[in-house]
Amino acid sequence: MPLLELRDLEARYGEIRALHGVSLSVDDGDFVAILGANGAGKTTTLRAISGTVKTTGDVILEGSKVFRRTPEAMARRGVAHVPEGRGTFATLSVLDNLRLGAWTQRGTSQRDLAHVFEFFPRLYERREQQAGTLSGGEQQMLALGRAMMAKPRLLLLDEPSLGLAPIVVREIFDALLRMNERGTTIVVVEQNATLALAAAKHAFVLETGRIVLSGPAADLRANESVRRSYLGY
């Protein structure tokens, strides 16, 4: 039984249809990349999963259909969504941001905090600082750290590499890989297809709201059209 299943998702923003019947499945412990050009519907797909956007079609989590898909409800079901632009609480401290990550947990355990600081030592140094004063990379780490505090079953990330220096991006993806090794299922939306395909185990390609390709990451890396359109060679 896959951890996540999407069946015939359709979403629209006003008159514009963003998703035209997206179906995919993600196994427990998988690391999945969703690729596609701007406007292909990648962000919308994540929003559909986390309940931020209303869709028709089904979202099935751990075998049971989710009917009331509100962000709060999905968060309580163990879905952590790190949106594009990090979505940190800029005027709150790093520590407060992390504590908020643990909102659905029973209190903030010091052990969880220590765990996050072990992953991202720089966050510990800046723990009392306002999140908005952190660099882009540090904010992304903070967003990840906050997601970790929620001990999610499913981690969704929207464009984690956006606007970050390559070295920082490496750090982020290393952390993601480590999280995945420890059992967190990850779905990453990325425009940087090379990076995503290197880290992921499986991938889907979206074009104008439809899935046009799917399969193991290695296969997609070798795929002719993917190479030309998204990998640049």
Partner 1 sequence: MTNFLQQIVSGLASGGIYGSLALAIVIIHRSTGVINFAQGEMATLSAFVCWTLVDHGWSFWAAFAATLVLSFAGGVTLQTVVIRPLQGGPLLGIVILTIGLLIAFNGLTTWIWGGAAKQFAGPFSTAPINVGGVAFSKQDIGVIAVSIVVVILVGLLFTRTKAGLGLRAAAVNPIEARLVGVRVPAMLAVGWGLAAALGAVAGVMAAPSLFLEPNMMQTVLLYAFAAAVLGGMDSPVGAVVGGLVLGVLLNLVGTYVHWIGGELRLATALAVILGVLLFRPSGLFGRPAVRRA
Residue 54 lies near partner 1 (rule: CB under 8 A):
no
Residue 91 lies near partner 1 (rule: CB under 8 A):
yes
**To which residue do tokens 């991202």 refer?**
120
Q: Residues binding partner 1: what is the number (CB under 8 A)? A: 25
Q: For partner 1, which residue of 40, 75, 123, 186 counts as binding (CB under 8 A)?
A: 75
DSSP string, 42-96: HHHHHHHHHTSS-EEEEEEETTEE--S--HHHHHHTTEEEE-TT----TTSBHHH
Residue 89 lies near partner 1 (rule: CB under 8 A):
yes
Minimum separation from the CB atom of position 74 to partner 1 (A) = 8
Buried b (16+ CB within 10 A) or exposed e, 139-169: bbbbbbbbbbbbbbbbbbbbbbbeebeeebb
Q: In angstroms, rounded to a whole number, what is the distance separating the alpha carbons of residues 59 and 65? A: 6
Residue 62 lies near partner 1 (rule: CB under 8 A):
no
Q: For partner 1, which residue of 81, 175, 176, 217 counts as binding (CB under 8 A)?
A: 81
Return residues touching partner 1 (CB under 8 A). 50, 52, 70-72, 75-76, 80-81, 83, 87-92, 96, 99-101, 103-104, 107, 146, 150
